Structure 1
Amino acid sequence: MGKTLYIAEVDGDTSFQHVTLKITPNVEGDYFDMKGNYLGSTSQSKKNIYIIGRDSLRNPYSRSNLPQNFYDKQASFDGTGNVVNLQAGAKYGTIITDLSAVTRINVAENIYNHYYTEAGFDINRLKYKTITDATDLDRHLSKTEIQERNDRYTAGRRDQLEGTGFAITRVGGYKYFGEYLKELEAEISIHYWHLGKNFDTGYDIMSLCSHEHKHLEDCINDVKNKTKINSEARAYYHQTMVDKNWKFISFRFKAGYYKMTPVLEKLSEEDLKKAFGDKEQYEMFDPLKFNNKNISL
């Protein structure tokens, strides 16, 4: 899986013409199967996300039929404590940013759930016990409830109340969401298609989860105490200044946040400097430009 470069000369010096340089890709990361089930991590994982595909018969690899010598250490069936062999990772894994939209969307739910749990949050606290897809926020409403909601608000007002960029947290009793979220029932939704586009690593996802979980806590406290503490400013501050994952996020995630969210309006100049550094580094960066290989497993 490595790449071999043959060096003919260096600055005109041909004495280097017989030198070869073997470059092995960095495959330190977290490994998942094609359903997004966590398999384990390499010993020095930087939380890059890898998906392993199919065997020679085109059967998807899974927890029950992994390649021989896939692990240096296998401690559990659910992936916890399992150490993936670096060479096996390079042979069988494909980084999430190289995968097709269909493949990425198929693995997103379980991968989001894994990192939500790894970040220390209880997935069972959510009504549906999963991170739902923010592309379809009406999926649980009946036709009658949708019509009642549409009659209650204008399209513009609905966008204000229910619109989302990367993700959204909704808590029953905090706002009106029909019958499917009763008081204090909660749902966190993240766009599945952002995985591998704007969220490249597990740190990116855990950072986003910390933002949404802060909303969840604040909304619940507002309902219980009849207050109005929930705000984007509080969630952005917690994510960038308090949560431990922010300092490890990918540059693309950080640039996307800088250019595609209202964070510039929600943090002070001092906190923006601490969180994002010099703004010049983002000027030429286009968070909507992607160069993935569109691989389908």
Structure 2
Amino acid sequence: MSRPVAASRTAVMVCQGRAAADGVIAPGRFADPTAMTLLRPDEREAVGWVRDGAVPGTWRQRIDYETVRAAAATMVPRTVAIDDAVRAHPCPQLVILGAGLDGRAWRMPELAGVAVFEVDQPATQRDKRDRAAGLDGTPPTFVPVDFGRDRLPEALAAHGHRAEVPTTWIWEGVVPYLTRAEVAATMAGLVAGSAPGSCLIVNYQSPAAVATGGRVLARLLTASTGRRSVWATEPWRSTWTPAAMAALLARHGYRVTRDESLLDVGRRLALPVGRASSLRHGRVLVADRA
């Protein structure tokens, strides 16, 4: 599989969304004090505009503002759903696939005493380690993996992951960027390290013409500012119906116990839902390994 060698730009956008929402959206249910620290100074500017509700004047700044605001609206229900699942399914090990600028190893007290592994492509992980130097607490074990060349079970084992011990797996914000064959291959590697009692938390995207159209519009709007959109270098490659995803997991010994849309999560949190069509097709499922 061919992937960009540069650090992920979507990881930055996702982190900006969490930083913009921290203490502002769903206080008491959502918090991410690590997000702002993980951003570079120039990446924090648009976050500040969103947090202050200060709509900037120039077109280019307005596009950045709207991008971060949209990311915040998505990240709150997505993060809450995944964090709740981690708390409800404690395991001695936690593996975060495609971790990007995830801050859970530092911010979740429930992970004290848990062996946390972050898996990502080498360039993104080098960038992450540099950014995370300012965070207090115990860092995760970083596992650099080139998914086009390296085998996940062997890479994890080389860094101390124990396949015979139950693991909670977080697969967030990654599945849409993989082909269906790559998703299936990752599942095969994941299940090789899944002892009975393991838990899998998957964030994926269900098919939606409106989502595809929205991403095309986002690319055009970014292009209008003289810049290349993040979606041009990191496009979506697959979407899944809940039935198709459940069938894939079942073939690998995982049984889905919960699968809900981000819209449903947002409504449960009593969030103002201004992007219902987008949230409706983002999903988080939880599955157990018998």
Question: Fold conserved (TM > 0.5)?
Answer: no
Higher RCO (CA-CA < 8 Å; seq separation 6+) = 2
State the TM-score, normalized to the length of structure 2: 0.26
State the TM-score, normalized to the length of structure 1: 0.25
Greater helix content: 2
